[in-house]
Structure 1
């Protein structure tokens, strides 16, 4: 279905590139060269624009100003922010300002397609109803793997290619990144789609039972073997066997696994003859297998047999673009499962908080956090207060008894607190009156913020003196973060360094007072 996309970017080359990508996706592009003209165009075509693609750094009205203006007018068209910086500071600020998604320049056609598709899904959600609950049968296709990051899109592309053959695959990645889901998607897209998919967590089985569980045993094969057990390889015959945490397999079992991979047959404990099996093997590990080989804990010959097609799945903290999409997906699914009377939304502050967090437990931890928040939700919107465990784990957060959350001196990644009009990324929302009170209180507490316009003799100070003092103040205020200082002063980094040299300011000692 053709949709109308508004592109707001001051770079004509970038506008042309984005227009070509959008038109190839079958949509219509409308162009504006800054936030103000984009706002005017949006108001003229209100109701027709489905998605806004917004650059942040522009003259007249920049991206943040545009987002504020859109919010004031109550326009809820999804906004995809373009940023030339992939740092968490920019990401969090964009999400706090109300962006639906963000892309990092130069954006690929694949990434832009995913972002626009997800935004259009949001627009049509009310008319189409909420997303269906994920199948409990375990059938998962590639369309069920939620992702927006270029890194994960590459992973899925590799997995789709691997699905077309029986090549052995090793999925590498931290616990909770979604290795089993990718394995199930591979099975679903392969010729074995209607065959068994059997999972084994090698790290959760006692070492003395691993061989029996994998290869089976005959009745009476050992003490306690009161009946015959087929084993996981036999259960998966014709289908796929997913060996999770394969790096935890005992060495003696690795020998039998090597034979199963090489010859396609297994040795059941107590059986007189080997048994032929037709199994597609997908292994997964959170360990560095080559290091395990060097340390003698994993057989080298087995490693090269299994590691024919390795796929490394990045941690969630390495693909922040996926967090907003995952959050919305989990919220909708759990709201449906909990049979809530109305759909839940996520505030921009909460989304910024969740995006700022590094998620050491990856997707599994994020999913559990959303599940808890949905179960305990009291309103129609999830806010920062619904994620207290996450907030207390981010440097700069303090849990207050009444107000919920406040900020210490710095926010995520050591970001300093800005003025009341540019609140920290995941600061709770305030009314205009509260902002004014905060601004006045800050002025009372920090009289040094004021820079004198006249000297002691009542004459206007030289521009160079005022500029030097402002630069010194900015260095102190932003704690020597040169990119932040240059950006807030509206100059380039090279210009900033030149001025530091001109004024004799040591950039390695940004907190020194003016001479």
Structure 2
């Protein structure tokens, strides 16, 4: 789901209608039957998951205006859409002054409600993104700014908040793209060193002969090409935080100097006559197994224990799938604003389900790039499965080949003796070999998804070209709904050749005979 919406209405029928509409829009509904119940719901832990409130103004005991006033007193910052049967101008003005984001009149039209919800969530997310960027630039980003709801991240946040209270060295471990730098920035923004320098160094991206100069600096004339004095990253981060990303990539000779800098709190710039004192906090990060590097002799054991005083492991995205809807909405809002595509505001539930079913080996960074591409491709207001062809292909989704939507009650049509599959197949296992584009299956394997051609027979040997050609023709007929002219054109053969092959393979004799007559008529003309 893309977000959670609280529906507050004392009328049970109206409440159920709104819940169903919210669910159909692709959001997760929650409900309260009174203003008091709504306030109690929002004050509990589950209230933190609410992204928007649809509030009825006319309710017994505590009406909607009273709820708005109490929410404002609590500092509630989520949008509220009010609804009432009395749509006078005074009511509208009063609700807006009380903090409502939008106003809808009963009976509520579903299209109007959907637009109001999308606009409210989009504006709120955009405002949150602007504030997050400002706090990142100012060094005041905190753990409350992280886009996460997964229980697996609760321990990470708890450890980060505790570590922020001291200057203890921290080692953040996790796969590439999980957000290790964001965790480091949140630690910095929560600590006493907030608004102080936060300097990032990618240790794996610095040429080996420049690592020492980059980290510790150099004096003018210290070596050939040193025409000016250079302040190193340690001195840049003085009084603040130095983030050493991919610290496991540091050369061994630099590891010795790094160890001394951490132990003594001073550095030796290249060519300097005396050491320089620095007051910094060290946060390191790595996507490697540091114990393996130590065992292999590629990382100093004493430096490892100096850096690994307070380890924090960030789980991969596949282990915190609850974060995917939040991140998707966050990235949609961001890229829609950056690319000037303000119409793009949401994602269809089936597309969200597709993204949630994918393993995301590149983690958040890969998801971010996928949403970026989808927003650029999208021509409407909602992202669909069609905007994620690579993801659909990798999870074996039917949309990787084509999308067919039909009511479940309708009979399955057949063309030339071939049943047209209108339901998406179950996800298939990945291909056994990356060298072959088709799904390779051996004996006893499950059927491949629609559109994939088996290249091995049940006995383990390669299938004959005739068998593969027959299967391809079956697939094309089903895919194009029996439109033989289109089938022939897409296969790159003439219709007379197609009908001849239909007879050879015994596919739809009646269609083949009619096609032969048609082909003869065309030839005669």
What TM-score range do you get, normalising by the shorter chain? 0.5 to 0.7
The more displaced of 151-160 and 136-145 is: 136-145
The answer (yes or no) to whether the contact 2:79–2:124 under 8 Å persists in 1 is: no
Counterparts in 2 of 1:356 and 1:338: CA distance versus 1, 3 Å: same
Alignment of 1:59-458 (within 5 A): 70=20, 78-79=28-29, 112-117=46-51, 121=78, 126-127=119-120, 129-131=123-125, 132=127, 133-134=129-130, 135=133, 138=137, 139=139, 140-395=141-396, 397=398, 399-400=400-401, 404-405=402-403, 430-432=405-407, 435-437=408-410, 439=412
Partners of 1:287 and 1:438 in 2: how far apart?
54
Once the two structures are TM-superposed, the CA of residue 167 in structure 1 deviates from its matched residue by: 0.8
| Alpha-carbon separation, structure 2, partners of 1:73 and 1:307 | 46
Q: Is the 8 A contact 1:196 1:236 kept in 2?
A: yes
* Separation in 1, partners of 2:411, 2:165: 60
Q: For this pair of structures, how many residues does the alignment match?
A: 340
For the 8 Å contact 1:215–1:269, the answer to whether it is kept is yes
1:43 aligns with 2:13: yes
Do 1:217 and 1:271's aligned partners in 2 also have CA atoms closer than 8 Å? Answer: yes
CA distance in 2, matches of 1:166, 1:193: 12
**Closer/same/farther in 2, CA of residues 44 and 130 from structure 1, 3 Å limit:** closer
Say which SS state the counterpart of residue 373 (structure 2) adopts: helix
Which whole-Å CA distance do the structure 1 matches of 2:359 and 2:53 have between them?
Answer: 24
Task: Tell me if structure 2 keeps the 8 A contact 1:323–1:355.
Answer: yes
* Larger RCO (CA under 8 A, 6+ residues apart): 1
Give the corresponding residue for 1:499.
Answer: none
Aligned mates of 1:352, 1:369 — CA distance in 2: 15
Match of 2:108 in 1: none
- SS state of the match for residue 154, structure 1? helix
- 2-structure distance, mates of 1:353, 1:256: 48
Distance in 2, matches of 1:438 and 1:191, equals: 67
- Listed one character per residue, the Cα deviations across residues 306-352 of structure 1 (whole Å, up to 9, x for unaligned) are 10110000010111111011101111121122233435210011101
Rg (Cα) greater in structure: 2
Contact 2:79 2:120 in 1 (8 A): no
> What is the alpha-carbon distance in structure 1 between the residues aligned to residue 52 and residue 286 of structure 2?
31
| C-alpha deviation, 1:377, in angstroms | 1.1
1:374–1:122 CA distance, 2 compared to 1 (3 A): farther
1:122-167 superposed Cα distances (whole Å, 9 cap, x missing partner)? 8766447342244266343322210011011221121111111111
User: In the superposition, relative to structure 1, how do residues 127 and 204 fare at CA in structure 2: closer, same or farther (>3 Å)?
Assistant: closer
Tell me which stretches of 4 or more aligned residues in structure 1 moved more than 4 Å.
3-6, 71-77, 117-125, 438-442, 476-479
**Cα gap change, 1:75 to 1:325, in 2 (>3 Å):** closer
Q: Is 1:201–1:244's contact at 8 Å kept on the other side of the alignment?
A: yes
Cα deviation, 1:450-503, whole Å, max 9, x if unaligned, reads: xxxxxxxxxxxxxxxxxxxxxxxxxx9999xxxxxxxxxxxxxxxxxxxxxxxx
Q: What TM-score do you get using the length of structure 2 for normalisation?
A: 0.59
Q: Is the 8 A contact 1:5 1:29 kept in 2?
A: no
Q: What SS does the aligned partner of 2:200 have?
A: strand
RMSD: 3.4
CA gap 1:147/1:127 in 2 versus in 1, 3 angstroms: closer
Distance across 1 between alignment mates of 2:49 and 2:445? 35
Q: Which runs of 5+ in 2 are unaligned?
A: 31-43, 55-77, 82-116, 420-443, 448-525
Q: Normalised by the size of structure 1, how large is the TM-score?
A: 0.60
Task: Tell me the distance in 1 between the aligned counterparts of 2:337 and 2:170.
Answer: 35
Conserved? CA contact 1:114–1:148, under 8 Å:
no
3-state SS of 1:176 partner: coil
